[in-house]
Amino acid sequence: MSAENLKRYATQNVPRYTSYPTAPHFSDAVDGDAYATWLADLDPAKPISLYLHVPFCRQLCWYCGCNMKLVSRSEPIEQYLDTLIEEIDLLAQHLPDRMRISHLHWGGGTPTALSADQLERAMDAVAARFDVSSDAELAIESDPRTLTKDMIARIGQLGFTRASFGVQEFDPKVQAAINRVQPPDIVRTCVEGLRAAGVAGINFDLIYGLPHQTTETLLKTISLCADMQPDRIALFGYAHVPWMAKKQRLIDEAALPGAAARLDQAQAASAALLEAGYSAIGLDHFALPKDPLARAFADGTLRRNFQGYTTDQAETLLGVGATSIGRTPSGYVQNITETGAWSRAVKAGCLPVAKGIGLTREDRLNGHVIEQLMCFGRVDLAQTADRFGLPPGTFCEINDDLEELRADGLISLEGNDICMTNAGAPLVRVVASLFDAYLPKNMARHAAAV
């Protein structure tokens, strides 16, 4: 692929495709009543996943685009937790039977903004309403700057199997520019503490494209991370969207690397992670060969959801907490974002759904193609059409677009089989977007492809 084509495609704004349809296309046509019907229709014999959202952080990171609240007092967290437990009870009341959890994920914000006792109380509430499989993955996100020894010990005692840290970058100048100062020793101490407590899986998040970041600083960060041997590393491109994430207005835009520098950072970081012994997983994840994520990629069972790449095979993901997103076989829902309104809805006995979208057969068809591309970099269109009871020529209307991508070196085409080329692999979101029936041309609200 020519450098000109690579740059042209890399600067296109396309979704990250952690769902399809993507969240901007959810609408208030789907409400709590619709969700209640979807929940009642679930097959009680099939396992589900549970996502619990904590929107609070103890410190403010300027790069963050998440919906979060800065908190210094315990009272708002305690009030939020009370409502979270009420929502767990409310969800359980709408299910056809007591159901089994195969994956559980705490996200945020910073879930470890809770105290150790609060986390245990929430997990007890889950166990009271659901059966947690003995081999379930229990994962929690954390901020190493505020993670206490007491919380580390309790995470281990509660049986968590995986913990995630936002490392982002270890260079002091970059850390100061994004207001996330955390020397490597802080992270190392947390990792060693969690492993000693019995938490076997450790995830790191890294970001390229940050202010004052260079390829050299990023490669040094990767070297420090590799020495700590996290089982998984996610490598994301920073999305600067200050019109949506107001805290990003505190970042000096003049210090952000340009498109060519971002691309160089992404490519160099990927090469360094491979050299360090990690396997590339999908678009932006890397895992040690022994990790279940690497095995899922190898055996074709890898999936993608709002937490990124996952081994989770459950068709249903129940989201709990303000702004959380859930999925059932019938469609997606997102909870009310504002914590006060979310709490009032739960206390009124209403499922706190703000918006969602029901899935059509076309959505499921396109969603399968997009997930296969995002997970494995290839898809057989004829085989996919047959899977959904449709004729082999279902996707013929985009033949010209596919041919253009082939000519530009992003993909190879063998009959109905699309396969990302090595050069085109980082641009898989561009190829996936061809199958997005909701995406307007020249959409500017999404992040750059690289």
Q: Where are the domains of the chain?
A: 1-13+360-437, 22-320
Which class is domain 1-13+360-437? mainly alpha
Other Cβ atoms less than 10 A from the Cβ of 45: the count is 9
CB 297 within 8 A of CB 279: yes
Distance (Å, whole) CA 32 – CA 269 = 43
- Alpha-carbon Rg for the chain in angstroms: 21
Could you tell me which of 389, 386, 378 has the C-alpha nearest to residue 420? 378
Place of tokens 């609060």: 118
pLDDT value of residue 148: 96
Low-confidence ranges of the chain (pLDDT < 50): 442-445
pLDDT at 443: 47
Contacts 24+ apart (CB under 8 A), 378-387: 378/417, 378/418, 378/419, 378/420, 379/417, 379/418, 380/416, 380/417, 380/418, 381/416, 381/417, 381/418, 382/415, 382/416, 383/416
Residue whose token pair is 């690497």: 294
User: Alpha-carbon torsion 5, 271, 180, 170, what sign?
Assistant: negative
pLDDT per position as a tens digit, 202-248: 999 999 999 999 999 999 999 999 999 999 999 999 989 898 888 99
Average pLDDT, the chain: 93
Assigned CATH topology for domain 22-320: pyruvate-formate lyase- activating enzyme (3.80.30)
Q: How many CB atoms lie within 10 A of CB 123?
A: 20
